[in-house]
Chain A
């Protein structure tokens, strides 16, 4: 469904990610794990059109999308939830969700699915997004991303700033979504949570992919265990 080949991108100071290749198949959940500064965010920004790659290819459902503007990519069926969320703070929960369906009017059925998944949002429909707690904002960011009925949901560190209980809840919601057939790509530092969700994973270190495998394989890998699972 999504295939990335030889992707290199960075900022003026030099390349942050180099020659990255990975793929996500329909119905899968795939994780990209790595420590802070490994390049996870730059990788996602380059895949989603927020950062111009200097070379490489991104193919989504057979169509080359590298170099397209983020707003074009968003309309092709990929929804991205960035770590900073980028909600519309002085707009209501309802309006934030409605804009997720842009340029269409929000579909009541999709709205119901989202509000059933996150009942907290239903209780707070008229509240401004900026006044909500971190956990609620994360729910809203995911909810907004779902309103366009994407084929692929991409999340950058969805647990950023969340207490452990809320982080676990966020992943519970992702499991539900995956169970309903949605393809999920997630970058995460909290590896155990991501590992429980994902079928496969890639390890990103200093801007290159150093390891890949099924979640079970990675869980057994001594380097992964030491660096990311805290097991000696």
Chain B
């Protein structure tokens, strides 16, 4: 019982981190990035290749985070260019189609070039005891890192001028322009930041379970579900929904099996949307 709860929180925190990135880009720029999971996987592969080239794990992880940020920048400078010329629904739709195409290409390339590679990071030492439950050390470390990053993120958005400026674009883009904020620059910044977050998700996840080259779509779909439940554009919502769905998913997996747990997740998402169309902490349209 408590073991499931704690495992659920470990998973849920990663859900939250994953969805946080997706929801920020959507809220800020009306861009739905369906290649988000692939960004995480590409970053993971950067870590794997760096380690194979002889780098120690920590510098290799740094390379992975850098790769994630660069992928975000690349997205902004290349395939999102035509998206930026559109507004409203057309913008969401084109971003969705282009990034989905990108995702297929990345998946195709990775399974062709590196069919069997996976990122697995191990942390030495035995299990850690929490509330009388023995937890895998990797999971605990992953959660601590995730909690630190999420808290840092929330502080950044609440306390710093730049963080407030980014939120103001989500709140009212025209209002932001009127006080001298360039929404396009904020979006580029957030694409780089969420690229780093995607890489971080891959790294922390690999402390618990291997991140294979084929993991991209599963990550994107999880992020989408969590984003929708949490409310588009709300990082707090993403964290809350992530933890809730993580717990639900873990309980479902242990009681009725892994395959059905994804269905349970989708049902939970559908029910949330029926009751609160804007998500747990989303803005009402």
- Residues of A bordering B, CB below 8 Å: 48, 50, 69-72, 74-75, 79-80, 82, 85-91, 95, 98-100, 102-103, 105, 144-145, 148
The answer on a CB contact under 8 Å between A99 and B164 is yes
A-B pair count, CB < 8 Å, reads: 69
Task: Determine chain B's interface SS by DSSP, over half rule.
Answer: helix
Q: Give 1 or 0 for each of B148-179: 1 = CB within 8 Å of chain A CB.
A: 00000000000001001101100110111111
Q: A69-B177, A69-B182, A70-B178 are in contact. Are A99 and B168 (CB under 8 A)?
A: yes
Which A residues lie within 8 Å of B181 (CB)? 71, 99, 102
Closest to B281 in A: A90
Listed from nearest, the 4 A-B pairs whose CB atoms lie closest are A86-B175, A88-B171, A74-B180, A70-B177
In Å, the complex CA distance between A54 and B174 comes to: 21
Which A residues lie within 8 Å of B56 (CB)? none
Q: Among the listed A87, A98, A105, which residue makes an inter-chain contact with B175, where contact means beta carbons less than 8 Å apart?
A: A87
The answer on a CB contact under 8 Å between B174 and A86 is yes
Is B55 close to A, CB under 8 A? no
Q: A88-B168, A90-B283, A103-B161 are in contact. Are A71 and B177 (CB under 8 A)?
A: yes
Which B residues lie within 8 Å of A85 (CB)? 175
Q: Pick 28 A–B contacts, CB within 8 A, sort by A.
A: A48-B178, A70-B174, A70-B178, A71-B180, A71-B183, A72-B180, A74-B177, A80-B178, A86-B174, A86-B178, A88-B175, A89-B171, A90-B283, A91-B164, A91-B167, A98-B164, A99-B168, A99-B176, A99-B179, A99-B181, A100-B179, A102-B161, A102-B165, A102-B179, A103-B161, A105-B161, A144-B179, A148-B179
Which A residues lie within 8 Å of B161 (CB)? 98, 102-103, 105
B124: shortest Cβ distance to chain A, in Å? 45
**Most chain A CB atoms below 10 A, which of B167, B175, B178:** B178
Closest to A79 in B: B178
In Å, the complex CA distance between A71 and B167 comes to: 16
In Å, the complex CA distance between A100 and B183 comes to: 15
Q: Among the listed A74, A90, A98, which residue makes an inter-chain contact with B178, where contact means beta carbons less than 8 Å apart?
A: A74
Q: A98-B164, A99-B165 are in contact. Are A75 and B180 (CB under 8 A)?
A: yes
Which B residues lie within 8 Å of A102 (CB)? 161, 165, 179-181
B175: shortest Cβ distance to chain A, in Å? 3
In Å, the complex CA distance between A105 and B159 comes to: 12
Which A residues lie within 8 Å of B177 (CB)? 50, 69-71, 74
In Å, the complex CA distance between A72 and B178 comes to: 9
Which B residues lie within 8 Å of A87 (CB)? 172, 175
Which A residues lie within 8 Å of B176 (CB)? 71, 88, 99
The answer on a CB contact under 8 Å between A88 and B182 is no
Which A residues lie within 8 Å of B175 (CB)? 85-88
Which A residues lie within 8 Å of B180 (CB)? 71-72, 74-75, 102-103, 148
In Å, the complex CA distance between A133 and B242 comes to: 35
In Å, the complex CA distance between A99 and B169 comes to: 11
A22: shortest Cβ distance to chain B, in Å? 21
Interface residues in B176-216 by Cβ distance below 8 A to A read 176-183
Closest to B158 in A: A95
Closest to A144 in B: B179
**Most chain A CB atoms below 10 A, which of B161, B174, B179, B183:** B179
